[in-house]
Amino acid sequence: MKGVELYARVRYSVRIEGLSERAAARRFGLDPRTVNKMMKFSVPPGYVRKKPPVKPKLDAFISVIDRILRGDKSQPRKQQHTAKRIFERLRDEYGFTGGITIVKDYVAGFRQRTQEMFVPLVHPPGHAQADFGEAIGIIGGVERKIHFFAFDFPHSDACFVVGYPAETTEAFCDGHVRAFAFCGGVPQSILYDNTKIAVARILGDGKRQRTRVFTELQSHYLFEDRFGRPGKGNDKGKVEGLVGYARRNFLVPIPVFESFEALNAHLLECCRRRMADRLRGHDETIGERLERDLAALQMPLPAPYDACEKVATSVSSLSLVRYRLNDYSVPTIYGHREVLVRGYVHEVVISCGAEVIARHPRSYDREDFVFDPLHYLALIEQKINALDQAAPLAGWHLPDEFATLRRLLEARMGKPGKREFVQILRLMEVFRADEVAAAVRDAIARGAIGFDAVKHLVLCRIERRPPRLDMTAYPYLPKAHVAMTLAKTYLGLLTGATS
């Protein structure tokens, strides 16, 4: 191939010196056709193929390769054909006799030709995008997956990120409530992917059938929803970029916190610090551009939405209510009745009618049992033989004074002492556990062992009055006399046993 310097000399001789193309060919020892081409191009144009190369072994199989590659577009990314796998199928299923190299070259060219192109977008203020991301963290000493809700303003690149134990309906709603409180208003519209939390079904014409919870959230805050194409994350590229940015910058190194509250305080501070950043192509900081977003929000902010999932169900014969594969206890008087479960991020609230009958910390395990021992004491008082085998009481850690009280009651009364002990435990249905425990200690110290004595001491403690526990005035209150054990007495017992 002729160099650029030769092109320049030949073109100079013809255009400036006035030589003819044939004379220039003789001067430089070139073919006249080469000189003619030099007059058309200022630099060597390279080899220009007039027609595509012939592939006699591959041409008959191109339609098969194209069909395989197009079918891959609807398959999971990690289960799509490689060029090697396509070659093996052509060889084994279609009798292809060529080599793997021409197959690899064609597949590479096909994928390059079919890569999607994108249009640069401009984002007006007052609109947002939302999505969930995942990361690994250590919460409360346990390594677990963190699901974080990312909320992005594309116009200003301002963000809000909050972490949750799971990507659930209540986390989705709670994330919106926190994001709206963070910016002090509601965006005009929010762009989502087609998450099942928001979209119950995509209809044939592309319209979305919203879930009930998402419809309630939208009705409460009155924002417009928008959805990207299924499987096209680039439709909401800003929040997709925020998910990756938050994972690399807010959650590296692996975060270690005692609770999700502490983690979210860290994420909130990271979002606030980012306000001072000035991104490429912008003269203003994120915080300065955010002012235009805030000016376009819907103001004022309404009262917070009750961010929970509501499930109607019934109480089992074991006084348990099942929610998200876990069982939560309620008082036994509500057995077999219809109840409403409200699942929050960190709490489960159970109501019967207008009355809240139980509150439990939320469990994210599977097939877990969450008991409140107080829910079963009334039933155990009736079925006293179940006291030592009752599962709700198995993990109930009470002060040592309660064990001492039970021992004294059973020593004096036998089986009825168990029932009276349960009656004392039931005082915690009305009074605080520390108040009942203090009354039990006081009763043991005074030698007044019984339900009436403990209840009297609890009331005196609450009413801040001295107890009037005169055993002569209250003869029905049993008094315990605990004498010191003497070796002489023990020997006497042994002598009596042998006589």
Percent pLDDT > 90 in the chain is: 75
User: In the predicted model, is pLDDT for residue 112 greater than 60?
Assistant: yes
Domain-ending residue, one of 370, 387, 416? 370
Domain ends where: 295, 328, 354? 295
Q: Using the predicted structure, report yes or no on whether residue 465 has a pLDDT greater than 90.
A: no
- Tokens representing residue 370 in the block: 């969450």
495 part of a folded domain: no
Residue 165 pLDDT > 80:
yes
Shared domain for 423 and 274, answered yes or no, is no
Verify cis geometry, omega within 30 degrees of 0, for the bond prior to 253.
Answer: yes
Q: Is residue 82 part of a domain?
A: yes
What's the pLDDT at 421? 95
- Number of domain units in the chain: 5
- One domain for residues 33 and 132: no
Confidence band, pLDDT 50/70/90 cuts, at residue 499:
very low
What domain range includes position 25? 4-40
pLDDT at residue 483 in the model:
62
Q: Are residues 288 and 204 in the same domain?
A: yes
In terms of domains, do 402 and 287 share one?
A: no
All residues at 6 or more sequence positions from 342 whose CB lies less than 8 Å from its CB, including other chains: 306, 308, 309, 310, 348, 349, 350, 351
199 and 328 share one domain: no
Query: 215 and 191 share a domain?
Result: yes
Cα separations in angstroms, 388 against 33, 393, 394, 406, 441: 107, 8, 8, 12, 22
453 within a domain of the structure (yes/no): yes
Mean pLDDT over 225-246 rounds to: 85
Same-domain status, 163 and 274: yes
Instruction: Dihedral sign for Cα 352, 357, 359, 365, please.
Output: negative
Do 325 and 439 have their domain in common?
no
| Average pLDDT in the chain | 90
**Same structural domain for residues 153 and 253?**
yes
Q: What residues are paired with 51 via a beta bridge?
A: none
For residue 204, tell me if it sits in a domain: yes
Residue 159 lies in a domain: yes
Tokens of 340: 């409403």
Same domain, 142 and 248: yes
pLDDT reading at 481 higher than 70:
no
What percentage of the chain has pLDDT greater than the value 70?
94
User: How many Å apart are CA 426 and CA 422, to the nearest integer?
Assistant: 6
Letter string b/e over residues 453-462, b meaning 16 or more CB atoms within 10 A of that residue's CB: bbbbbbebbe
Is 384 contained in some domain?
yes
Question: How far is 248 from 52, CA to CA, in rounded Å?
Answer: 46
Gap between the Cα atoms of 322 and 266, Å rounded? 34
Q: What is the pLDDT of residue 22?
A: 93
Q: Do 133 and 276 reside in the same domain of the chain?
A: yes
Which tokens is 392 given? 């709700």
pLDDT tens, 2-17? 788 998 999 999 999 9
- Arithmetic mean of pLDDT, 196-220: 92
Strands 189-192 vs 127-139: parallel, antiparallel or unpaired? parallel
Given a cut of 70, whether residue 469 has pLDDT beyond it is no
208 and 285 share one domain: yes
Q: The whole model's pTM is what?
A: 0.75
Let me know if residue 470 belongs to a domain: no
**Of 333, 353, 370, the domain-final residue:** 370
Let me know if residue 79 belongs to a domain: yes
113 C-beta neighbours (distance < 10 Å), count: 7
Is 185 in contact with 165 (CB distance < 8 Å)?
Answer: no
